[in-house]
Amino acid sequence: MIKTFGYIFWAFLLVFLSACERKPVVYHEQLLVFGTVVDVKLWGVKETPGQQATARLADDFAYMHNAWHAWQPGPLGRVNQLLASGESFTMPPSILPLIQRSSKLSLSSNGLFNPAIGKLTAIWGFASDDPPKGPPPSAEAIRAILDQQPNMKDIRLNGLTMQSNNPALKLDFGAFAKGYAVDRAIEMLREMGINNAVINAGGDLRAIGRHGDRPWRVGIRHPRKAGILASVEVEGDESVFTSGDYERYFDWQGTRYDHIIDPRNGYPAQGLSSVTVFARQADLADAAATALFVAGPDEKNWLPIARAMGVTGVMLVDKDGQVQLTPSIRGRIYFIPPDGNTEENNTEQTSPGIHISTAL
Amino acid sequence: MSQIKLNRGDAVIWLLAAILLVGLYAVFWRVDGHGAEAVVLVNGKRWARLDLFQDQNLDVPGPLGHSHIQVRDGRVRFVNSPCPNKLCIHTGWLSQGGEVAICLPNKVSLQILASDPRFDTINF
Amino acid sequence: MSRTIQTTRDDYLIAGFAALAITIHIAESALPSPLPGIKPGLANVVTLVVLCRYGWQMAAWVSLLRVLVGSILIGTFLSPTFFLSAAGALASIAMLGLLFSLSRALPGWAVGPMGYGVAAALAHMSGQFWAAYMVFVPHSGLLILYPLLMTLAAVLGVVSGLLTRTILKKLNRTPSGGNPV
């Protein structure tokens, strides 16, 4: 009798406990692939299916990384060589979708996102695993490439073959491949029946579904200082991609030269510290973040590009720490003051550093 | 069951017990997302779990060498690392559940675990 | 120097109480529990009765005997379970000792079974919990359980206090030695 009492007693306690403390059912794994850390969180997925899913993701990412690598030997390297030769050649199936998609995005960004300027990226020293030390390339070297205006329109697609007449054209999908890869990965998860997940590749992420009974909580790091600048809730299907001047850069004689080159003048884009884009498709978010970073802090310049690319969620931080937000982000984002406590919806009173742009 | 008759001493004890219980919930059931633990991953695999309530320093071995990690006052950070860019060090102190710092070249990463994390993922 | 031990009726009662406490302790060990050694602590009732009738020293003996002999009989002597039991018992005894002295010093504020019950239960649970946390499971996830276990202990403390009082009433109807409290 005492034993029964004991069982009932502890059963009651356990029920009470389980009601209070949610058992975490998030499968979490970090994959070192794609030249970065890909952090995968799968909600409601147990150990074994989680491992299977991430193993497949790791394989896919490894394949894509090799296929689209801008400077290491691989399919893209061969494509670039053949494009430079001017000959017509059969295109590898792994590259075609990338070219088609990025061409469309390049067009809608008015050329600010231009994956064809691989040669410019290279002379600035960003086409290598080692960070460049400087000095910056000469104006003549830049001019030589710029004058030939390498552009996605220079690629002629004919059925299964492709060809280009512009020897200055070199494909570098660095500003876009990650987004595209994340899209493929999310698709793969959906095929496996996983509908609540976050894939974060080196800081850029796409989240689908929710974290159980609440949305996914995303923290956005401050571009300049250590710590979190803002937090945002994401659910359903959304990508959050940030382009910044702090990712890859070198300092030379007091000026910072980052890896995002303005295709119009051949120099690293100036004016902004970071651009964060919220969009459903990760490849769009990736390309748009780059394009808007190039566009610069003036609303007259970046707003039309965002509009043309179909992006309504944008946050820009300029070099003085001033923040600009599109209206759709204003209601969702919570800025964290330096002492670390979140204030509820403190963008209601716009502090001097935050500017809400005109509606898109 | 006879009615509960408390004398004064008992009443004092019961009162103190009630205050204690409330206090315990307040202390141990903090839901402000502060992490109690951090996890160190090397090459994507769990290498160590750190109790953030205990100040400590540790050297984490990676392909490039040792990354030095420090725990102090419930926060953790990279202090030193053999990578060229030192982005991991620039990330600074981590304290909230979900926050991460990564030394990619040395394949070492640091993340705060919390049962109800402030952030599930960090964009940067 | 030898002394013939004069056993009084009280000695028989204490031995009886100790045996009873040990029996309950062994019975409790059959119950499943979330952490090794964390038990409802019903054997504490015996300790409390002895405390109220015979004073703290005797209660301390009964409690220690319970833990020691009980663990030897169950076969858990010097095992982790034993250490947790011992930790709980020691903490409980210490708390009771403190309250007992205070009750003697301030008779107007003397503590009765209801107070002792709750205080001892909380101390007992704390002793067990922190021993478990620091020595066996230093997992900070465990800390979430502490407020719950303490709430539980408080409830059980009330129950054991009530039981103690009932038993004391019954015992007072049968004549025996003096009641120091």
pLDDT tens for C77-125 read: 888 878 888 898 899 999 999 999 998 888 888 888 999 999 999 999 9
Q: Is residue B73 part of a domain?
A: yes
Helices (H), chain C: 9-29, 44-54, 56-74, 80-105, 113-131, 145-173
pLDDT computed for residue B34 by the predictor: 60
- Those chains having 3 or more beta-carbon pairs within 8 angstroms of chain A are B, C
pLDDT digits (tens, 9 = 90+) for A282-319: 999 999 999 999 999 999 999 999 999 999 999 999 98
Contact B119 A217 (CB under 8 A): yes
The domain spanning residue C127 has which CATH number?
Answer: 1.10.1760.20
pLDDT band of residue C141 (cuts 50, 70, 90) is low
Q: Does A15 touch chain C (CB under 8 A)?
A: no
User: What is the count of structural domains for chain A?
Assistant: 1
- Chain B residue nearest residue A273, CA to CA: B124
Q: Which of residues 19-38 of A touch B (CB under 8 A)?
A: 21-22, 24, 26, 29-32, 36-37
Q: Which of residues 79-98 of B touch A (CB under 8 A)?
A: 84-85, 87, 90-93, 95-96, 98
Contact B91 A200 (CB under 8 A): no
- Chain B residue nearest residue A38, CA to CA: B44
pLDDT computed for residue B70 by the predictor: 94
The domain spanning residue A300 has which CATH number?
Answer: 3.10.520.10
**Which of A9, A18, A20 should be substituted to probe chain C, the one whose Cβ sees the most C Cβ atoms within 10 Å?**
A9
Return all residues near A148 (Cβ < 8 A) that are at least 6 apart. Answer: A166, A167, A168, A169
Q: Is residue C4 part of a domain?
A: no
- Chain A residue nearest residue C153, CA to CA: A13
A38 pLDDT more than 80 = yes
When comparing pLDDT for A348 and A238, which is higher?
Answer: A238
User: What is the count of structural domains for chain B?
Assistant: 1
CB B110 within 8 A of CB B78: yes
Q: Is residue C16 part of a domain?
A: yes
The backbone torsions φ and ψ at residue A289, rounded to the nearest 5 degrees and listed phi first, read -60, -40
Among residues C58, C41, C42, the alpha carbon closest in space to that of C128 is found at C41
pLDDT band of residue A343 (cuts 50, 70, 90) is very low
Q: Is residue C94 part of a domain?
A: yes
List the single residue in B93, B104, B115 with the smallest CB-CB distance to A24.
Answer: B115
The domain spanning residue B97 has which CATH number?
Answer: 2.60.320.10
pLDDT computed for residue B95 by the predictor: 83
Contact C152 A2 (CB under 8 A): no
Q: Is residue C2 part of a domain?
A: no
* Owning domain of residue B97: 37-113
C180 pLDDT more than 60 = no
Contact B53 C140 (CB under 8 A): yes
Which chain B residues are within 8 Å of C150, Cβ to Cβ? 20-21, 24
Q: Is residue B11 part of a domain?
A: no
User: What is the count of structural domains for chain C?
Assistant: 1
* Owning domain of residue C65: 9-173
Contact A3 C31 (CB under 8 A): yes
Which chain A residues are within 8 Å of B122, Cβ to Cβ? 200, 203, 218-221, 228
Classified as helix, coil or strand, B45 is strand
pTM, two decimal places? 0.67
Contact C33 A10 (CB under 8 A): yes
